[in-house]
Structure 1
Amino acid sequence: MASKKRAKQAAKKTPAQGLDSPFFLPFAGLAKKRKEEEKAEKAAKAAKPAGPDPKKKAPAPRAAPPPPPVDLVSEAESFAMYMAGVRALEEGKARIPRTSSQVERAERPAATPATDLDADARAQLHSLVAEGVRFEITDDGERIEGRRLDTDPRELRRLRRGAYTIDGRLDLHGMTASQARQEVEKFVRKKRTDGDRVVALIHGRGNHSPRGIGVLRGEIAAWLSQGPVAHHVAAFASAPPEDGGAGVVLALLAR
């Protein structure tokens, strides 16, 4: 009983301690001290002038480029080396002699103009395309005839029978094909310009030609239907026997 009484008396003498006393917050002073140190550091940084960070290393200086190599030969010496052995032209010579290739070209004879192998093809194309002329041709090996497509077939029948008066004749005996063509084209143009209607082109039967075949017979048909004078011709046909037969081609000229 005496011990209980002494304990009660000791409790009355000791004051009560709160939850916020240092006894219950042993580290509260450390946190306050840490805040004060952070404020001091911030104030020191604000007062310090701006400048490079001493902790960072400065960049190393770049090495200078190596000097260019020294040219041991001057420009004057180089020029003298390149011009070694060159001699000046003699006085009075104002031109450099021609080269051998120039001499060969000067002595070479002028080339003769090549023969135009496509002249006939171009003439036919000009007649068919540019002039718009097209013919219907029949050849049985002895007699030949042709009619422009825009010509009345009855005109060809009259020509074949000899119903037209012959206004002019052209004899082609002894001519080459080239000569005969020029003469036929010139003759047909003139007769149409004069207003004539029918002409006779005498080419022969080919009795003196190889194999007895007339060379100009088929050529005349091509000249009249596909050559430059095709637009001057309406129809053509081998003449009837009384006008020369198979050795003559009658041409009906266009109006």
Structure 2
Amino acid sequence: MAKKLTSLDDLKDLKLPGGKVTPLDLARIAMKGGAVPSKPKVQAKPGPKAAQPTPADDAAEDSLFFSAMQGVAPVAGSGRQIQPPPPPAPALDPEDDEDADGKLMRQAVQGAIEFDLELSDEYMRGFVRGLDSKIFQQLKAGSLSVEGHLDLHGQNADQARDALMFFMRESYLAGRRVVLVIPGRGKNSPGGLSILRAEIQSWLTREPLRRIVLAFCTAQPRDGGTGALYVLLRKIRKSQGKVAWDTQMNWEGLER
């Protein structure tokens, strides 16, 4: 756009698009009423248009896709199937444990303790009649935390009995609820039978241990399998009867 000149002072800084101002240029400016022509604008040339896909291109792409998908069967169901996480291991319910243990302790004080027993070459179990089946199932599944263990490998019957009596007494007085006893499978015993396995069932269900034992069963493979036993002990209750421990045993000597 032309710039309008209103006085002679405007000529001082005047610059034409071509460079220096000459007298002839001034005369032309005066004839045009003092307007200075502006530099013409250069229009940019439009660039090449992007190529648009043609129907033929789309058809070729679809054909390639369907050829690649031949023989592929759709997955049954809608969307990806995500398996839910396994439920957490059940915990021993304190209320159920309290009720069952109190009832069974009263039976123990009255001397009316009876066990349901099962013994085979590969499995052993026993539990006090009246024990909550849910608690026994937790013991069998190995979901109750083991708080101590006793390994009887290499011991004869007398040594094993003394060691078991001491271990069970100390575990009971310490308030442990679940312990692991390992008599072994008896592969090196005469006839390949574990004498200790049969003896332990008898020891656990007779005095004095029957007053502190609620249940026992063959352990899970991760804890020794058929060569080990989970044993569930009662809660210690000083106000409800006392266990008649063998007074002829040297408990202090066993401890040393």
TM-score relative to the length of structure 1:
0.48
Which structure dedicates a bigger proportion of its chain to helix?
1
